[in-house]
Structure 1
Amino acid sequence: MTAVPDARPDAPLPKPAATGMGTTSEYGPYRLASHFQPIYSLTHHRAVGHEALLRATTLATGAPVAPMELFADAASDEARIALDRAALLQHLAAYAGRDADEWLFLNMHPRSLADPSGPSIRQIDDTLARHGLRPGQVVIEVLESSLPDDADFDHRVDELRELGCLVSLDDFGAGHSNFDRVFRLRPEIVKLDRSVVVRAEVDAHARRIASQMVSLLHECGCLVLMEGIETDEGAYTALRCDVDFVQGYHFGRPGPELAGITGLHALRAAWDRFDRQSASDDRLWQEQMSPYKQSIELASVLLAGGASMDEACRRFLSQPGSDMCYLLDKQGRQVVGNAFRDGFSQQQLESVERFAPLHDTRQARWSRRAYFRGAEASPNIAQVTRPYMTLQGSRMCFTVSIQFDMGGRTLVLCGDASL
């Protein structure tokens, strides 16, 4: 077992021998040092914080010790709490004297916050003051996958927030992540796990999901940080997903000094690509959707003039991927049968046996759907949804819709096209 410093709850946090960049400290058989990785705001075009990362060497030989090995050695709760205490002191001492209005992100294991033997709020406040740091400069990071169902932990988080610190939920989107933890912890910042970035870089569907995840987190009252960004593609993905902050090797590797100019160059390059490519991507999407929108608008005019569904929707159903058209009343109920493209039928639509309970739509109401609400909000103007899975479960599709009047009735015409 590694020897650890005194972890009694009433024991004062010791004063470091020195402060400032390059400061080191001893912990058992190890010498501890701090490295800092910059965190950039995409909107502000500058570093707004640094995450403190622990580095260690052996006192005997000076050989480096991998962080995972160091933390694995702290197997018991007592040892882990002592290591968190030592890391906290080391990072604050190394960061002391910073005048910049930036955040210092500090990792703390939930056990260190929940256990009575962990650093008390008073000790944390006193230690911050000793190093010339305000609580509002500090972001306490807790690992999402390790959150205990513990009232003491929740109380300690509330105390940290009352002190003035911010709370960050780390590695969200990995493993068994769920929004219940966001609702419960109410973090000011949520850090998306690198696995989210990796998938979103190469898969358009994953990128849409990531974008929706960011939107939901924003609605939960959280700022969103995308970590683990190592490539230009990852930086572009972060901008497309509308995250607030970025972190990763692409913007700066951890080091004993604070952020240099590497991250600023990467940030400018990412914005340059976004300015060029996002407009191009959006324009390409609009160009691809234009024939669908024009043909659904034409179909609504023909229907209002007395044409049948099959006749009115013929042009829309000739577009690539188009499957069917359907007509809804102002309550979202279907008023006539579907019009299908050539070679497609109701039987084929219902061919996925696993989703048989959803095939009968005779009593269905679709007024909650984005295609209905969008059409309702902008009458006589064609709308296009984001891609989604149909309730029949057989395919991903998008829907083009338009609200129009026919014989004194308000109707919404919809057309589905498979991706």
Structure 2
Amino acid sequence: MQEVTSDILNYIIEEAAIEVHYQPVVSIVKKSIIGLEGLGRGVYQNELIDPLPLFKKASKDKCSLKLDRLCREKAIENFLEVYGKYKDMLLFLNVDGSTMTDEMADSGFLLNLVNKYNIKPENIVLEIVESKVSNVQALAAFVNNYRSYGFLIALDDVGSGRSNLDRIAITQPDIIKIDRVLVKDVHVDYYKQEVFKSLVNLSKTLGAMVIAEGIETEEEALKAVELGADMLQGFYFATPQKITSSMIKTFNQPIRRVAAHYSDYLAEKIRLQKLKHKEYEEVVKVALADISQVEEKRFDFKLLNIINSYKIFECVYILDTSGIQVTDTVSAYGNYSKHKNLIFKPAKKGDDHSLKKYFYFLKNMKVSKYLTEPYISNATGTLCVTMSCVFKNINNKKYILCVDLNPEIVYN
């Protein structure tokens, strides 16, 4: 690809030499395409020029706003044919946050544009890359003005780079797009899953819908839907391309495939969870039988034997019926995350666990055993689940055995 010079850039702007490619935004629940994101490419001597070098050069030549507006007008103009057949289709338009000024906020350019092409403002989603916004006051004014006209507001690339969560409060977006950096391999990355869920929960609390962008595999799609994404976008469904109304139905195949596989995916997940819980119960049952045969003063010795018997045990310790730890925390050698020693330390004899879920729920739900959701252990700094079980020792006194298990080992 040739370098974008000022002459090439000026030619593209003056001749309106922009080719718009569209990428579908889909809903697995509705089994349909919800909208199209318009992505402008420059055209020079029959060669397509990607938007990144094009806008980079426009920024240097101080004509970003001209290029930005040209791309948006071309995206709307070429969307008309699809809009004529699909009146509920949304058009996602990128708004270059670096061009956000007080004048732009009040210009009414986009309102005039949709009126010119007779498209309803509620069909247009203004997609703002908030990390590029330097004039926050102009951003707030722009959002408030265009929302009052009926446009939808989306924040793009949330969760990546210099993403500032305070912009969510400023813009109060209708849609939040979770960036590819969090979506890639989300089906196998616990940390990404937790961040993803947190963003989904935040969005739902604020009344915003969530789009997971950059979906490239069915596994990523299934996990994103499971974690709460309302819509998906990415190469798995379609690459950005010229689109006509007659092509819309051709994109339904991967949508239907994910939708068909999703119920099987959930059923398999439930089956594996049941199997995992059964295995937890079986190994902990043996440990309970062992520990119940001794008096309290021999608990620590027994725990040392128990921890070395099962590979999935991270830590074991015992509480009394008030939630006070009566043993040291015993861990298999090598389980501790050495670089986290100052913030993650195993609990000691005498520590109070009465407000921990594995004690609090066990006591208040009046059950004999309780299993937590996965979390990062305060003892080791690694992922674990805790199973707590009531038992009686050889002196017929009640205690609670707590076992931190590694959920990643069971099926490896």
TM-score (norm 1): 0.77
Amino acid at match of 1:416: D
CA distance in 2, matches of 1:349, 1:91: 55
Map residues 86-105 of structure 1 onto 2, 5 A cutoff: 86-96=70-80, 97-98=83-84, 99-105=86-92
Map residues 398-413 of structure 1 onto 2, 5 A cutoff: 398-401=385-388, 413=401
CA change 1:358–1:85 in 2 (3 A) is: closer
CA change 1:119–1:158 in 2 (3 A) is: closer
Match of 1:388 among 351, 357, 375: 375
The total of aligned residue pairs comes to 390
Amino acid at match of 2:312: G
Compute the displacement of 1:121 (Å): 5.3
Higher helix share: 2
1:39 maps onto 2:25 in alignment: yes
CA change 1:377–1:172 in 2 (3 A) is: farther
Match of 1:176 among 154, 159, 162: 162
CA distance in 2, matches of 1:376, 1:143: 48
Q: Does structure 1 retain, via aligned residues, the 8 Å contact 2:128–2:155?
A: yes
1:327 maps onto 2:315 in alignment: no
Compute the displacement of 1:366 (Å): 4.1
Q: Does structure 2 retain, via aligned residues, the 8 Å contact 1:251–1:262?
A: no
CA distance in 1, matches of 2:13, 2:330: 72
Q: Does structure 2 retain, via aligned residues, the 8 Å contact 1:135–1:163?
A: yes
Map residues 234-253 of structure 1 onto 2, 5 A cutoff: 234-253=220-239
RMSD: 3.9
Deviations 1:331-388 (A, max 9, x none): xx524224747xx59xx88894752465465675545544345435633053322332
CA distance in 2, matches of 1:184, 1:228: 25
Please give the secondary structure, in 2, of the residue aligned with 1:415.
Answer: strand
Amino acid at match of 1:387: P
Q: Which residue of 2 aligns with 1:67?
A: 51
CA change 1:403–1:142 in 2 (3 A) is: farther
Q: Does structure 2 retain, via aligned residues, the 8 Å contact 1:37–1:52?
A: yes
CA distance in 1, matches of 2:374, 2:223: 18
Compute the displacement of 1:139 (Å): 0.9
Q: Does structure 2 retain, via aligned residues, the 8 Å contact 1:125–1:135?
A: yes
Match of 1:417 among 373, 381, 405: 405
CA change 1:95–1:30 in 2 (3 A) is: closer
Q: Does structure 2 retain, via aligned residues, the 8 Å contact 1:2–1:74?
A: no
Q: Which residue of 2 aligns with 1:107?
A: 94
Match of 1:290 among 266, 269, 278: 278
Amino acid at match of 1:239: V
CA distance in 2, matches of 1:351, 1:119: 50
Compute the displacement of 1:131 (Å): 1.8
Q: Which residue of 2 aligns with 1:13?
A: none
Compute the displacement of 1:417 (Å): 1.9
Match of 1:336 among 304, 318, 326: 326
CA distance in 2, matches of 1:339, 1:62: 69
Amino acid at match of 1:171: D
Please give the secondary structure, in 2, of the residue aligned with 1:40.
Answer: strand
Q: Which residue of 1 aligns with 2:249?
A: 261
TM-score (norm 2): 0.78
| Greater Cα offset, 74-83 or 199-208 | 199-208
Q: Which runs of 5+ in 1 are unaligned?
A: 6-24
CA change 1:64–1:176 in 2 (3 A) is: closer
Match of 1:226 among 187, 191, 212: 212
CA change 1:261–1:32 in 2 (3 A) is: same
Amino acid at match of 1:94: N
Q: Which residue of 2 aligns with 1:397?
A: 384
Match of 2:341 among 347, 355, 361: 355
Q: Does structure 1 retain, via aligned residues, the 8 Å contact 2:12–2:18?
A: yes
